[in-house]
Structure 1
Amino acid sequence: MNTYLAGTLWMVGVSIAALAVVVALRRWRRDSGPLVDISVLSAVFSLAGMLFAIVAAFVFIDVWSGAEEARDVTYAEAEAAQLVAWSANGMPEPERAEMVRLSREYLREVVDREWPRQAGVSADEHAHGWQLVQRMHDIATRNAEDAGDAPEVVESLLQARQQRLALAGARIGDATWFALLAGAVLAGLPMFFFPFDRALPQLALTATVASMITLLLFTIQQIERPFAQDRVAPTAYEETLTRITPP
């Protein structure tokens, strides 16, 4: 489903549910009168909303900065793949040509196959990429005397790959989600009990607060994985491919 449509449906659905609760409470309150003092309710509403906003802001900043870290990792990995190809210059043929070919194939594997699916799968499903790294490592080890830095640059490629795949599966954690969801409920709960004389202002306030909280939670859920929603493009790998001359 389209992200914009999904977000809109969530906002509308939660707002409708909140409005239904307000209508039910107003009908019940006609006979029982105000439930709490308005000054106390306002203080609770302000405090709960402020605390929730602080928690949500820290979480949002954390998941947003994750994309910057992921972008840096992609450039480090692409640079390592380029250095692997260049480290083969001192190797004899056909090892040199094979090393360059494997470097290009690795970059193409990342762009064409791993990138579209890495946000939602585990690292175990990228088996071909691991095989390419292993073959490069074997060639570098055999030719360590002719290209002394080859094993080190292959190791740097391996580490960058591991870091990227670890970031691809990174999430903010169940405990954080519990804090966000519980905080959202507690922040929005007081608005149901404000003793408005007219229904329209209370309905408008409820719909606005419910929509804003839902939008914030939906956005965090969509961007909690650094590589989700095309937040990080495979630009580094595509640029590196143009700098490695085919053997």
Structure 2
Amino acid sequence: MGFEIFAGAIFVGGTIALTLSCYFLMRWMSGNEHETHEKDLASSVVFRVSALHGLILALVFAQEMFGYQQLRLQTATEANAIADVYFDAGRYGDTEKVPIQKELSEYIRVVIDKEWPGLGKTNRLSPEAWAQWDEAYRAILDLVPGNPRQQSLRSHMLDRIYLVSESRTKRESTVADSLNGIFWFAAISGMIFIALAYYSYPPTRRNVVLISLFGAYTGVILFLIYAFSNPYAQPAELSPGPFIRLQEQIASLTSAS
């Protein structure tokens, strides 16, 4: 929680400082006396640039928030598919279930301990987790059904293990398609242009407070966009909760048997 507050304070403080600096710089360059038509033109510019700036921030914020929610859904889907395969293997047969369940348990451990934090740093899936998935997949392929029940279970396990692979690819694409420098250039330059256009308004206490509020709110939105752009790292790190709960469920069943 402390890191989130610190990072948010840096964004908000930085945007306030930048906004006021641009405002006072433009005041100094233009002098203190401004005619009425200058204020009218400045207001027109502020209105138009603000509309475009707000639209850009709103669209990008909505996109990042949607991707964040989709990752939560995708993580739950992947964990559910793994659970289906794990427990279907137990229904298939006591001997055949051992290699499948062993590889899936190891897969869950690797995802939680290595792959999840690694995605926040490298934006790439763990080769070790892919290897565990492949071993489980091969073990399912090697099953030789002896009756219709086992045939149905094998078919279902193959469908679900394919879903795990698909979900993994989507998890990687969530962070691989993160924001680039073009957005940040547009966002920062828009804020600067708006601050510069306020130069015709005198630096009274109320005006300075209002301009600071504009900078602060822009900083809040930029911080949220930055946080949601990488859900595998702070400050808005998404926990692999479905995997952790599945791991705990498997551990409790193993200890009870």
TM-score category, normalised to shorter length: 0.7 to 0.9
Within a 5 Å distance, the mapping from 1:29-68 to structure 2 comes to 29-30=30-31, 33-34=33-34, 37-68=38-69
Q: Following TM superposition, by how much is the alpha carbon of 1:218 offset from its aligned partner in structure 2, in angstroms?
A: 2.3
Question: For the structure 1 residues 115 and 230, does the alpha-carbon distance in structure 2 shift closer, same or farther, using more than 3 Å as the test?
Answer: farther
Given that 1:102 and 1:136 are in contact with CA atoms closer than 8 Å, whether structure 2 keeps it comes out as: yes
Code of the aligned partner of 1:134: D
Query: How big is each residue's C-alpha offset from its partner over 1:137-173, in whole Å with a ceiling of 9 and x where there is no partner?
Result: 1111111535532333222221112222222333134
Question: What CA distance in whole angstroms lies between the structure 2 residues aligned with 1:220 and 1:24?
Answer: 28
Question: What CA distance in whole angstroms lies between the structure 2 residues aligned with 1:56 and 1:128?
Answer: 38
Question: For the structure 1 residues 20 and 62, does the alpha-carbon distance in structure 2 shift closer, same or farther, using more than 3 Å as the test?
Answer: closer
Q: Following TM superposition, by how much is the alpha carbon of 1:107 offset from its aligned partner in structure 2, in angstroms?
A: 1.6
Question: What CA distance in whole angstroms lies between the structure 2 residues aligned with 1:175 and 1:30?
Answer: 33
Instruction: Provide the identity percentage.
Output: 18
Classify the secondary structure of the residue corresponding to 1:4. Answer: helix
Residue in structure 2 matched with residue 139 of structure 1 by the alignment:
139
Code of the aligned partner of 2:57: A
Question: What CA distance in whole angstroms lies between the structure 2 residues aligned with 1:184 and 1:232?
Answer: 29
Given the alignment, which residue of 232, 237, 241 partners 2:243? 237
Residue in structure 2 matched with residue 98 of structure 1 by the alignment:
99
Code of the aligned partner of 2:74: V
Unaligned runs of 5+ in 2: none
Question: What CA distance in whole angstroms lies between the structure 2 residues aligned with 1:24 and 1:59?
Answer: 30
Given the alignment, which residue of 204, 213, 218 partners 2:218? 213
Question: What CA distance in whole angstroms lies between the structure 2 residues aligned with 1:230 and 1:12?
Answer: 19
Question: What CA distance in whole angstroms lies between the structure 2 residues aligned with 1:157 and 1:28?
Answer: 60
Please state if 1:169 is matched with 2:170. Answer: no
Classify the secondary structure of the residue corresponding to 2:121. Answer: coil
Classify the secondary structure of the residue corresponding to 1:123. Answer: coil
Within a 5 Å distance, the mapping from 1:176-215 to structure 2 comes to 176-191=183-198, 193-196=199-202, 198-215=203-220
Given that 2:11 and 2:222 are in contact with CA atoms closer than 8 Å, whether structure 1 keeps it comes out as: no
Given that 1:70 and 1:164 are in contact with CA atoms closer than 8 Å, whether structure 2 keeps it comes out as: yes
Q: Following TM superposition, by how much is the alpha carbon of 1:64 offset from its aligned partner in structure 2, in angstroms?
A: 0.9
Question: For the structure 1 residues 177 and 145, does the alpha-carbon distance in structure 2 shift closer, same or farther, using more than 3 Å as the test?
Answer: farther
TM-score (ref. length: structure 2): 0.80
Residue in structure 2 matched with residue 115 of structure 1 by the alignment:
116
Classify the secondary structure of the residue corresponding to 2:122. Answer: coil
Question: For the structure 1 residues 181 and 24, does the alpha-carbon distance in structure 2 shift closer, same or farther, using more than 3 Å as the test?
Answer: closer
Classify the secondary structure of the residue corresponding to 2:120. Answer: coil
Q: Following TM superposition, by how much is the alpha carbon of 1:203 offset from its aligned partner in structure 2, in angstroms?
A: 2.7
Paired residues, number: 243
Q: Following TM superposition, by how much is the alpha carbon of 1:130 offset from its aligned partner in structure 2, in angstroms?
A: 0.8
Q: Following TM superposition, by how much is the alpha carbon of 1:87 offset from its aligned partner in structure 2, in angstroms?
A: 3.0
Query: How big is each residue's C-alpha offset from its partner over 1:198-218, in whole Å with a ceiling of 9 and x where there is no partner?
Result: 543443233222222223222
Q: Following TM superposition, by how much is the alpha carbon of 1:90 offset from its aligned partner in structure 2, in angstroms?
A: 5.7
